[in-house]
Structure 1
Amino acid sequence: MNKRRWVLIGHKRKTEFFHQMIPEDALSGLEMILLLQRLASRHLEPHEIVAASLAKTAAGYTSDLEVRRSASGQFSLVTAASVWKYEAKIVIYDHSQI
């Protein structure tokens, strides 16, 4: 049986340190964006989180918590000079292959 799943992947530079699958219907796209921001904020200092939370037009704004979405629907977030990266994408998971 095929099921669509979110696949969450965390990298520090090129090393994967986090990988988790969750059912697609467990989170909306907006909820996934918020989850990626929460995960990434763990690697930022409090003042960096504040700066990344400001309006894009505000003085001092940084894009450290800005989530980008590709044409294929994959979300990605890169923080702190590209050291930490979190990605989320939808995959079709075939339970019959287990």
Structure 2
Amino acid sequence: MYGAITLLLGAIAIEVFATASLPKADGFRAPGWSAAVIVGYAASIWMLSLVVRTMSVSIAYALWAGIGTAMVAVVGMALGESMTLAKAVSLALIVAGVIGLNLAGAH
């Protein structure tokens, strides 16, 4: 299971990189950045497919999507995007949902 968690964290990191690269891809007009986005998403999904061999898909996907979403928001703020109260509350709800799913799946 610990190997799956490490692999999942890698998949999340790659997905966050690919998502953060989307503006640089400029609507897929910048070939290098476009390739980074496509390869990043493909690698992330491939890694996620390996994770679900040993972790339930509902938990793995919730973690991948939830943590990825929160991390993209953090990266966005680091790159100058604004954080409103509505965004902060919404992200907190996502994190709470991921925690809830993990606690429910642990029994």
TM-score by length of 1: 0.28
| Greater strand fraction, Structure 1 or Structure 2 | 1
| Greater helix fraction, Structure 1 or Structure 2 | 2
Larger RCO, structure (CA 8 Å, separation 6 or more): 1
